[in-house]
């Protein structure tokens, strides 16, 4: 990660509430010790780099302040829970499934946005069809190799035609800093839903709010700001 700074999400207003999450802890890193302090990003150090609107470039976020290193060879995606065929996918297994390509904007809730990002991967809907979701399933819980980030989607949200288990981004393999070898890309929602270093998908009977949601972000991260357990507007993304 030599030339890539690691960002914590800075404080941001979400609707009418303020998020006081990892970004603030990062900014107060000196209180908590050197490890956290070291991860306060360069761009934040220049002033408001992390929260400038429409910066047109990615920030590299990591809750833990590090980027897990997982080779394609060692990579595994475990899919379990309320499915007919619990399956552990290798990287090659994922690449052997039908691929979907999308070009979409990537938008963080803090205001930065990168237009026209190319993605390639397995449609989450295709992956779910492959394992067979059981009728009593309600939601998915996602886990990361970082051991910290978690996310959720309802089954309806997961079946949208623009939600990818992505292995290519920006026309190349997803880099380690961007969550490679495999990350989520949830096009109609803010970036925090696009969990990096995806390690497991558990099909469950209720929505279990993820890391960012436990820190105040809406469970439904629709970019258009609507809320509710199952509503969606796939046209937007």
Ligand X SMILES: Nc1nc2c(c(=O)[nH]1)N[C@H]1C(S)=C(S)[C@@H](COP(=O)(O)O)O[C@H]1N2
61 or 89: CB nearest Mo ion: 61
Residue 197 binds what, of Mo ion, ligand X, none (CB under 5 to 8 Å, by partner type)? ligand X
CA distances to 6, 44, 162, 194 from 17, in Å: 25, 22, 28, 22
Structure tokens at 127: 């992956």
What are the φ and ψ backbone dihedral angles of 121, each rounded to 5 degrees? 175, -160
Residues 6+ apart with CB under 8 A from 217: 14, 19, 109, 190, 192
Helices (H), 70-123: 91-96
> Applying CB under 6 A, which of residues 26, 36, 49, 61 lies at the interface with ligand X?
61
Q: Report the DSSP beta bridge partners of residue 104.
A: 117
Shortest CB 80 distance to Mo ion, Å: 27
Find the residue with minimal CB distance to ligand X: 191
Give dist(CA 50, CA 60) in Å, integer.
Answer: 10
**Under rule CB under 6 A, which residues in 154-193 are in contact with ligand X?**
178-179, 191-192
> Applying CB under 5 A, which of residues 60, 192, 217, 222 lies at the interface with Mo ion?
192
Eight-state DSSP code of residue 133: B
Residue 146 binds what, of Mo ion, ligand X, none (CB under 5 to 8 Å, by partner type)? ligand X
Find the residue with minimal CB distance to Mo ion: 108
121 or 179: CB nearest ligand X: 179
Q: Check binding of 213 to ligand X (CB under 6 A).
A: no
Shortest CB 212 distance to Mo ion, Å: 8
> Applying CB under 6 A, which of residues 12, 63, 94, 182 lies at the interface with ligand X?
63
Shortest CB 190 distance to Mo ion, Å: 6
> Applying CB under 6 A, which of residues 14, 36, 50, 60 lies at the interface with ligand X?
60
Buried b (16+ CB within 10 A) or exposed e, 197-218: bbbbbbbbeebbebbbbebebb
What are the φ and ψ backbone dihedral angles of 107, each rounded to 5 degrees? -130, 120
Residues that bind Mo ion (CB under 5 A): 108, 191-192
Residues that bind ligand X (CB under 6 A): 9, 58-63, 108, 144, 146, 149, 178-179, 191-192, 194-197
């Amino acid at each position: 990660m030599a030339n890539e700074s690691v960002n914590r999400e800075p404080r941001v207003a979400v609707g009418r509430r303020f998020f006081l999450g990892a970004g603030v802890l990062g900014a107060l890193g000196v209180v908590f010790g050197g490890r956290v302090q070291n991860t306060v990003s360069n761009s934040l150090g220049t002033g408001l780099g992390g929260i400038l609107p429409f910066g047109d470039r990615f920030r590299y976020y990591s809750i833990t302040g590090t980027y897990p290193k997982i080779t394609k060879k060692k990579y595994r995606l475990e899919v379990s829970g309320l499915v007919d065929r619990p399956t552990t996918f290798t990287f090659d297994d994922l690449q052997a499934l039908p691929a979907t390509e999308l070009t979409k904007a990537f938008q963080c809730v803090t205001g930065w946005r990168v237009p026209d990002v190319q993605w390639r991967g397995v449609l989450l809907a295709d992956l779910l069809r492959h394992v067979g979701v059981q009728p009593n399933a309600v939601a998915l819980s996602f886990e990361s190799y970082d051991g910290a980030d978690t996310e959720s989607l309802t089954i309806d949200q997961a079946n949208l035609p623009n939600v990818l288990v992505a292995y290519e981004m920006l026309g190349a393999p997803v880099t380690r800093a961007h969550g490679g070898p495999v990350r989520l890309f949830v096009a109609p929602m803010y970036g925090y839903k696009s969990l990096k270093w995806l390690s497991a998908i558990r099909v469950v009977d209720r929505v279990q709010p993820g890391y960012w949601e436990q820190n105040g972000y809406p469970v439904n991260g629709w970019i258009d700001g609507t809320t509710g357990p199952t509503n969606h507007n796939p046209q937007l993304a």
